[in-house]
Amino acid sequence: MKRILTLLCVLGSFVVQTNAAKPPKGQAARLPNVVWIIPDDMSANFSCYGETAVKTPNVDKLAAQGVRFTRAYVTAPVCSTCRSAFITGMYQTSIGAHHHRSGRGAEKIHLPAHIKLIPKLFQEAGYHTSITGWPGRKGRLGKTDYNFEWDKAVYDGADWSGRKKGQPFFAQIQTQGGKLRGKDTSGWEKVSKAAEKEFGSRTPNSAVKLPPYYPNHPDIVRDWAAYLDSVRMTDAMVGEVIARLEKEGVLDDTLVLFMTDHGISHARGKQFMYDEGLHVPLVVRGPGIKAGSVRSDVVEHIDIAALSLAAAGISIPEYMQARDILAKNYKPREAVFAARDRCDETVDHMRSVRTKDFKYIRNFLPQRPYLQPCAYKDAKSILIALREWQEAGKLNETQKLLFRETRPPEELYDINADPYEINNLAGNPKYAKKLKEMRGRLSKWMIETDDKGRKPESARMFDSDMAVYLGAMKRKGDPAHLKVILGNIALMKKWAAEGK
C-alpha cells in the first residue's frame, strides 16, 4: 500500500503536536475528537452489512470495534438536501432546504435565526472545526452543498492539523464514494483500474448480483461492478483515515463515524423513496462505545448531529429534531421519515414513512411518470440501457415498474416479505388498517414538523435556481446537454400549468 504510506508521510509533515498525553491526575478528562467520514452515493454494500461480492476490511474493523446500525435511513435521497439536514440536525423540510441545489441564485434561503450549524456549536465549545476531501488539498474545504446561506467561518480550515496544541477537533471528511465510477465506460474503467492498482484485481462482472428490478444488461452489470470497486476504494480510504489517527496517537480519544449521504445513484436508488436510495450504512466507534454492538432499531441520518454533540459534552439545542441515539436513556424511534422534492430541473413531491416492518410512500404528483425527464440521470449509461431494453421489450414485469406513465397516489410495502419493495399493498383490503395507520403517521409528521413542501416552490425561486444551473451548463460547453435541460424546464412548467 505504497500510496497510503506516502499519503501518511505527506499529511504527517504538517501535523501539529497531538493531544494524546493523558491529563494530570485530578484534572478533567479530555474532550473527545469527533470525525465524520461521509462518502457520496453509496448504499450499505460492505461486508459487515452482508455484501459478499467484495471485501471491506476497514469498515468491517470499524464496526467490530464499535456499533453498527442496520436500519439507518437518510431523510432525503439526494446530496444537498441530505447535507442541509445533517449539518443542522433538522429535517430539510422544516428549514425550507428541501429542493435540491436550491437558494443558489438571486433568490436565497436563510435559516431561522435560532438554528446554528453543527460546526458552529463545536466552535463555541472550544473545538477546532474542519472539512476536507480525501486525500485533501491543502487549504481547500471539502464538500458542503448546503441549500441555505451560511458563514464559511464555521470551519477553521480544511484539516485538523491547524488546531492549537491540545485543542480537540471536529473534522468532516467528505469523499466521492459511488461517484468514483462516473456515468459511463470511461468512469467505470477509471475506478476499476484504480482498484486493480490498489488491490491487485478489479471486481469481475461475474461477481455482480443485481436487484430483481434491474435487468442483466451488459452496461448495468459493468456499472455495478465498477460501483463495487468504488466501495473497495472507499474502504481503503477509511483505512487511511484510521491509520492517520493512530499515527498521531489520537484514535482512542476520537469518535469516528462512518455514514454515506444517501444510497447508490441508480434508476431506483438516488432521488427515490425506496430503500435503495434511503438506506445507508452507519458505524460509530469511539470512547464509551461497546465493541461489536449491533443496533436494529430505525434511526435517521440527522441523528449524527445530536450524538456527536452529546459525545463532546455539548448541550443539544431544544429545537433540534435529531436525537442522541447513543444516550443511555434513548427511547428508540417507532418510525423514520423522508422527503424528495425538486432535483435540479425535475419537479417532484414525495414523502415516506418507514417502520421496521413497513414502508409507506405518498406520491403527491401521481399523474407524472416514475422516470420523469432529468438531464443528470438520463445521461447515465445505465438509464440509457434501461430505456433501450424497455423499447425492445426485453424487461420483465418487475423491471417494467419504473416505466409506468403514472404513479399510484399511495404505496405500501411489507418490508419483511418484500424487501425489494415490488408488491404495492395499498390497494389490498387485508392491509387497509396498516395503510390508514401509516398514512396517519406521515400526515402527523408533516404537520408537526412544519413541512415547507406542502406549498409548491415559487416560480421565482425555480427560475432563480435554473438560471444558475443553466449558466453552469453553458460554461461546460455541452450544447446538446443544455438543450435537454431547457426542454425539461419547459416541460415542468407545462405540466404544472396543466395541474399535472
Q: What integer pLDDT is reported at residue 139 of this predicted model?
A: 86
Q: Given a cut of 90, is residue 24 above it in pLDDT?
A: no
Q: What integer pLDDT is reported at residue 30 of this predicted model?
A: 81
- Determine how many CB atoms are found less than 10 A away from the CB of residue 496: 15
11: confidence class by pLDDT, cuts 50, 70, 90: very low
d(CA 75, CA 85): 8
Give 203-252 pLDDT, tens digit per residue. Answer: 999 999 999 999 999 999 999 999 999 999 999 999 999 999 999 999 99
d(CA 366, CA 198): 46
> Radius of gyration (Cα) for the chain, nearest Å?
22
Q: Given a cut of 80, is residue 20 above it in pLDDT?
A: no
Give me the residue spans of the domains in the chain.
32-471
29: confidence class by pLDDT, cuts 50, 70, 90: low
Q: What integer pLDDT is reported at residue 135 of this predicted model?
A: 83
Q: Closest Cα partner for 413 from 469, 460, 354? A: 354
Give 250-269 pLDDT, tens digit per residue. Answer: 999 999 999 999 999 999 99
Would strands 358-363 and 350-354 be described as parallel, antiparallel, or unpaired?
A: antiparallel
Cα within 13 Å of Cα(192), Cβ side: 16
Per-chain mean pLDDT for the chain? 94
- Determine how many CB atoms are found less than 10 A away from the CB of residue 483: 12
Sequence-ordered list of residues with C-beta below 8 angstroms from that of 498, at least 6 positions apart, any chain: none
Give 136-179 pLDDT, tens digit per residue. Answer: 888 899 999 999 999 999 999 999 999 999 999 999 999 999 99
d(CA 345, CA 204): 36
32-471: CATH number = 3.40.720.10
Q: Closest Cα partner for 420 from 440, 404, 449, 398? A: 398
Q: What integer pLDDT is reported at residue 229 of this predicted model?
A: 98
Please, where are the H alpha helices in 248-404? 275-278, 303-311, 375-378, 381-391
Range in 46-55, 241-250, 416-425, 474-483 with the lowest mean pLDDT: 474-483
Q: What integer pLDDT is reported at residue 137 of this predicted model?
A: 83
Give me the phi and psi of 29, to 5 degrees please: -65, 145
Give 372-383 pLDDT, tens digit per residue. Answer: 999 999 999 999
Q: What integer pLDDT is reported at residue 19 of this predicted model?
A: 31
Give 55-98 pLDDT, tens digit per residue. Answer: 999 999 999 999 999 999 999 999 999 999 999 999 999 999 99
The x, y and z cell numbers of residue 108, run together, are 436565497
d(CA 194, CA 386): 27
26: confidence class by pLDDT, cuts 50, 70, 90: very low
Q: What integer pLDDT is reported at residue 138 of this predicted model?
A: 83
Give 301-321 pLDDT, tens digit per residue. Answer: 999 999 999 999 999 999 999
Q: Given a cut of 50, is residue 42 above it in pLDDT?
A: yes
Give 284-293 pLDDT, tens digit per residue. Answer: 999 999 999 9
Please, where are the H alpha helices in 131-217? 185-199
